[in-house]
């Protein structure tokens, strides 16, 4: 695609001849970035044993990636709209690869935090660009919906595959391998991207004003950090104050965008109920999926006593469900209706989560795996929701739509870890008998080998079930709102205004 054709509307642009090969590049790159969000959970114990970071340093090793990624999504997407989305994607591949390679010289906790922050920069360059380029590669709404279904399936597989890949690597190599595995993958993605992907820019890119960049970055970082702090330590002064500052900065940013004819982020897209329905689907699905991975992987390793690799394999039904459901969702939507498929996917997710509190104690893995599979099948809603977000945005605002969607996933993940993780901790501690050691109250892992190990395992099982019940209620509420917002006759083939 030339620079001139990149300014045409989707209806005027012929499908790119190598669009499906290009989609494979985009999906593979997304797979790596999403895997990197969960693979560290498996590698962290070995990393801590080797470098011995303090509690604060451990927190930043985990959080630096998400904080930087969340803060840079909006400004880097606006830059990509002007500079070129393929250029931004390829630059993101390079940053991600170099950042992963630098772990070889990261001999201190501070250096690892720097590496994680650099990976966050690369992730913020890659993730929105993949969605924007799918919008360019697939001007036909039905093909785009299928492509976004594949994209959503890839995200689900990546989230569930991270623990599997991490566990397999740690069976043979050190924690460094969890980073170094990205290097050859990024090299292949860079070469394939140059050969297969067209360049794409917005015909009416948003302005790049320094105040907007500072407000969006500062607001997102403060909001995400505040949510994490409140989730870990409760509603203390620092956490609540950080939350308030983040929300305040983002409100100013939104007001600033509303007063501009060419804002950095097209916040007026939220006036459309269909667009909002897609965003809510992304937010709710991401929150419960990440929470299930977090608490479920702990239950598998500590309560079931399985190794990280076996526990990772036990999470595969989540990926299988997503791999099966997402690509077929657009075709089903064409037959039974978009609203039915989107809400049906959310209901499947809620059903899978609700399985956990209904199972007998101790939880049988077969029943838990069935719940995982249903949740994975429910992620078919993500592909349809993505089609709503990207399809309702005009072509020149594809970057803004992609930034909103990726921010929804990031916020959902943060909320899932912080709020559901806090809930699990509360239920776990409430179920412990009086007089247990502090290490046991702090974490179920601290009970291993102790006389109260059985009681601690039972308490954590109850916490796992409570996360399932609460997650099901959250998704049911989201499904009810989405049902009200979406027209009954909405067709994926006719999303554009």
For the segment 124-136, what is each residue's pLDDT rounded down to a tens digit? 898 888 888 888 8
Which of 244, 259, 274 delimits the end of a domain?
Answer: 259
- The pLDDT of 135-158, averaged and rounded, is 82
Q: Are residues 256 and 215 in contact, defined by beta-carbon separation less than 8 angstroms?
A: yes
Question: pLDDT band at 14, cuts 50/70/90?
Answer: low
467 shares a domain with 438: yes
269 shares a domain with 254: no
- Please tell me the predicted confidence (pLDDT) of residue 367: 95
The rounded mean pLDDT for the chain is 85
Token pair listed for 341:
């498929």
Which of 217, 236, 259 delimits the end of a domain?
Answer: 259
| Number of other CB atoms surrounding residue 158 within 10 Å | 24
Q: CATH number for the domain including 418?
A: 1.20.1250.20
List, for residues 222-242, the tens digit of each pLDDT value: 988 888 888 777 788 888 999
pTM over 0.75: yes
- Please tell me the predicted confidence (pLDDT) of residue 138: 86
Question: pLDDT band at 375, cuts 50/70/90?
Answer: very high
486 shares a domain with 337: yes
Tell me the Cα Rg of the chain.
22
DSSP secondary structure string for all residues of 34-66 = HHHHHHHHHHHHHHHHHH---HHHHHHHHHHHH
Question: pLDDT band at 385, cuts 50/70/90?
Answer: confident
Task: Look at 45 and 392; give whichever has higher pLDDT.
Answer: 392
Q: Are residues 294 and 352 in contact, defined by beta-carbon separation less than 8 angstroms?
A: no
- Please tell me the predicted confidence (pLDDT) of residue 496: 61
> Range of 60's domain?
5-207+260-494
235 shares a domain with 352: no
Q: Are residues 221 and 25 in contact, defined by beta-carbon separation less than 8 angstroms?
A: no
List, for residues 428-483, the tens digit of each pLDDT value: 888 888 777 777 777 777 777 778 888 888 999 999 999 999 999 999 999 999 99
- Please tell me the predicted confidence (pLDDT) of residue 205: 79
Residue 63: C-alpha distances to residues 32, 76, 319 (Å): 18, 20, 24
Least reliable range by pLDDT among 27-41, 277-291, 354-368, 465-479: 27-41
Total domains, the chain: 2
List, for residues 46-70, the tens digit of each pLDDT value: 788 888 887 678 778 877 888 888 8
246 shares a domain with 130: no
- Please tell me the predicted confidence (pLDDT) of residue 94: 94
Token pair listed for 342:
């989107």
> In sequence order, what E strands does 108-245 have?
none
214 shares a domain with 196: no
223 shares a domain with 144: no
- Please tell me the predicted confidence (pLDDT) of residue 430: 87
Which of 226, 259, 292 delimits the end of a domain?
Answer: 259
Greatest alpha-carbon pair distance for the chain in Å reads 72
Three-point CA angle 93, 97, 103, nearest 5°: 155
- Please tell me the predicted confidence (pLDDT) of residue 225: 84
List, for residues 71-125, the tens digit of each pLDDT value: 888 889 888 888 889 999 999 999 999 999 998 888 898 999 999 999 999 988 9
105 shares a domain with 44: yes
- Please tell me the predicted confidence (pLDDT) of residue 479: 96
CB-based contacts of 368, cutoff 8 Å, min separation 6? 296, 355, 356, 359
- Please tell me the predicted confidence (pLDDT) of residue 11: 44
218 shares a domain with 174: no
- Please tell me the predicted confidence (pLDDT) of residue 429: 86
Question: pLDDT band at 3, cuts 50/70/90?
Answer: very low
- The pLDDT of 349-377, averaged and rounded, is 94
| Number of other CB atoms surrounding residue 3 within 10 Å | 10
Question: pLDDT band at 9, cuts 50/70/90?
Answer: very low
Q: Are residues 137 and 23 in contact, defined by beta-carbon separation less than 8 angstroms?
A: yes
235 shares a domain with 175: no
185 shares a domain with 174: yes
124 shares a domain with 245: no
List, for residues 255-265, the tens digit of each pLDDT value: 999 998 888 88
List, for residues 272-326, the tens digit of each pLDDT value: 999 999 999 999 998 998 889 888 888 988 888 888 788 888 988 988 888 888 7
Determine the distance from the C-alpha atom of residue 72 to the mean position of all C-alpha atoms in its chain, rounded to a whole number. Answer: 15
């Amino acid at each position: 695609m030339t620079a001139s054709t990149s300014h045409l509307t989707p209806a005027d642009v012929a499908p790119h001849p190598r669009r499906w090969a290009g989609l494979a590049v985009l999906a593979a790159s997304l797979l790596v970035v999403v895997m990197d969000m969960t693979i560290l959970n498996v590698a962290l114990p070995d990393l801590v044993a080797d470098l011995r970071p303090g509690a604060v340093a451990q927190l930043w090793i985990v959080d630096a990636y998400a904080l930087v990624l969340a803060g840079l999504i909006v400004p880097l997407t606006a830059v990509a709209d002007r500079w070129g989305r393929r250029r931004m994607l390829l630059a993101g591949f390079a940053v991600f690869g170099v950042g992963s390679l630098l772990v070889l010289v990261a001999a201190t906790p501070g250096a690892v935090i720097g590496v994680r922050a650099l990976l966050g920069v690369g992730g913020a360059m890659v993730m929105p660009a993949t969605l924007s380029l799918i919008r360019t590669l697939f001007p036909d709404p039905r093909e785009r919906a299928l492509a976004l279904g594949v994209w959503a399936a890839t995200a689900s597989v990546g989230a569930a595959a991270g623990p599997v890949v991490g566990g397999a690597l740690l069976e043979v190599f050190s924690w460094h391998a969890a980073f170094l595995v990205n290097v050859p993958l990024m090299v292949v993605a860079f070469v394939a991207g140059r050969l297969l992907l067209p360049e794409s820019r917005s015909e009416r890119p948003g302005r790049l004003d320094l105040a907007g960049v500072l407000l969006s970055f500062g607001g997102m970082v403060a909001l995400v950090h505040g949510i994490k702090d409140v989730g870990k330590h409760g509603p203390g002064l620092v956490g609540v104050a950080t939350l308030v500052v983040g929300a305040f900065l983002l409100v100013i940013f939104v007001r600033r965008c509303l007063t501009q004819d060419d804002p950095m982020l097209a916040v007026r897209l939220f006036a459309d109920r269909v667009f909002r329905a897609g965003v809510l689907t992304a937010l709710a699905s991401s929150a419960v999926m990440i929470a299930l991975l977090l608490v479920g992987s702990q239950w598998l390793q500590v309560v079931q006593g399985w190794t990280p690799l076996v526990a990772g394999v036990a999470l595969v039904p989540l990926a299988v469900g997503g791999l099966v459901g997402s690509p077929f969702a657009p075709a089903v939507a064409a037959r039974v209706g978009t609203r039915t498929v989107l809400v049906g996917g959310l209901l499947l997710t809620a059903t899978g989560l609700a399985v956990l509190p209904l199972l007998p104690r101790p939880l049988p893995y077969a029943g838990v795996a069935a719940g995982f599979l249903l949740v994975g099948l429910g992620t078919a809603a993500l592909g349809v929701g993505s089609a709503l977000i990207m399809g309702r945005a005009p072509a020149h605002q594809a970057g803004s739509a992609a930034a909103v969607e990726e921010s929804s996933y990031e916020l959902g993940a943060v909320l899932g870890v912080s709020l559901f993780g806090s809930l699990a901790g509360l239920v776990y501690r409430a179920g412990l008998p009086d007089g247990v050691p502090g290490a046991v109250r702090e974490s179920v892992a601290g009970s291993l080998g102790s006389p109260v190990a059985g009681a601690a395992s039972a308490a954590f099982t109850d916490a796992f079930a409570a996360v399932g019940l609460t997650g099901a209620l959250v998704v049911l509420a989201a499904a009810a709102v989405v049902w009200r917002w979406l027209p009954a006759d909405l067709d994926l083939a006719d999303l554009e205004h």
